């Protein structure tokens, strides 16, 4: 009788979980594009499309062409250009609201290890309990905390932006002037975060953790 040994089957490799899911990567880059577009409209409104400057330019140019234009007419034309810029800003804001809602939904449907709040709690425990490499644990925890603050910023920006967009239709919203102030102030906080984020990525790519940018493109590996 011929005996045969155990049949060795091909062992399929266990698929590795990505650091960043495809949904998170899509959200990240769309969010970057939306915030950039929103900030550009604000920049245009305060520079090239500033109505208080363009009104005088329009009036001077039309007078040279032989047309008589009053100050009010020139200001109205300048405000029309500015209003179109704000219309674009508003539609971009709706995109931000959609992305905020998308990100909140992702937190419920993500793989457990990729949930943001779960990761924040895990890093906090490491920071409190770890005695070795405590500096690295502290760094990771505060970086994650900074991202949590950023999420609060964009949620605040989305909510106050919606209130401003519908203030003409809802008198109660128009009566609350704090929405505009909070919206403007939060914009500067987001600008500060962007500077910190870009600076941190640059330093990490050079020193401690190269590959952060590519991980946000191809997902990276755990």
DSSP secondary structure string for all residues of 111-173: -GGG-HHHHHHHHHHHHHH--TTHHHHHHHHHHHHHHHHHHHHHHHHHHHHHHHHTTTT-HHH
- To the nearest whole percent, how much of the chain has pLDDT over 70? 88
Mean pLDDT score across all residues of the chain:
82
Q: How confident is the model at residue 210 (pLDDT cuts 50, 70, 90)?
A: low
pLDDT bucket at 39, cuts 50 / 70 / 90: very high
Yes or no: say if 103 and 116 are a contact pair by the CB < 8 Å rule.
no
Give the per-residue pLDDT at 97. 96
Mean of the pLDDT values across residues 155-163? Answer: 95
49, 82, 123, 156 from 99: Cα distances, Å? 28, 26, 26, 13
The tens digit of pLDDT for each residue in 75-102 reads 777 778 888 889 999 999 999 999 999 9
Q: Is the pLDDT of residue 146 over 50?
A: yes
pLDDT in the model for residue 15: 47
Burial class (CB in 10 A: 0-12, 13-18, 19+), 138: middle
- The answer, yes or no, to whether residue 17 has pLDDT greater than 60, is no
Alpha helices of the chain — where are they, by DSSP H? 22-46, 51-64, 71-109, 116-129, 134-165, 171-174, 178-206, 212-218
Place of tokens 């880059």: 29
Q: Model confidence over 46-79: pLDDT tens digits? A: 888 877 777 777 777 777 777 777 777 777 777 7
Q: In terms of Cα–Cα distance, which of 204, 191, 207 is closest to 216?
A: 204
Give the model's pLDDT for residue 14: 44
> Residue 205 has what pLDDT?
80
- The tens digit of pLDDT for each residue in 124-140 reads 888 787 767 777 788 78
Collect all residues with Cβ–Cβ distance below 8 Å to 107 and sequence separation of at least 6.
Answer: 115, 116, 117
């Amino acid at each position: 009788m011929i005996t045969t040994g155990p049949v060795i089957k091909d062992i399929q490799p266990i698929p590795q979980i990505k650091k960043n899911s495809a949904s998170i990567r899509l959200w990240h880059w769309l969010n970057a594009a939306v915030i950039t577009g929103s900030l550009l409209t604000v920049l245009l409104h305060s520079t090239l499309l500033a109505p208080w400057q363009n009104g005088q330019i329009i009036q001077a140019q039309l007078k040279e062409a032989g047309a008589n234009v009053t100050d009010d007419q020139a200001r109205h034309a300048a405000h029309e250009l500015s209003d179109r810029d704000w219309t674009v800003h508003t539609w971009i804001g709706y995109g931000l609201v959609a992305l905020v809602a998308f990100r909140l939904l992702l937190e419920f449907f993500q793989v457990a290890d990729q949930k943001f709040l779960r990761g924040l709690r895990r890093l906090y425990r490491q920071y409190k309990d770890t005695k070795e490499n405590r500096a690295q644990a502290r760094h990771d925890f505060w970086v994650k905390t900074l991202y949590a603050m950023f999420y609060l910023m964009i949620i605040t920006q989305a909510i106050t932006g919606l209130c401003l967009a519908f203030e003409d239709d809802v008198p109660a919203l128009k009566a609350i002037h704090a929405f505009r102030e909070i919206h403007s102030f939060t914009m500067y906080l987001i600008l500060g975060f962007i500077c910190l984020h870009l600076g941190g990525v640059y330093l990490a790519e050079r020193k401690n953790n190269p590959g952060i940018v590519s991980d946000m493109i191809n997902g990276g590996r755990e």
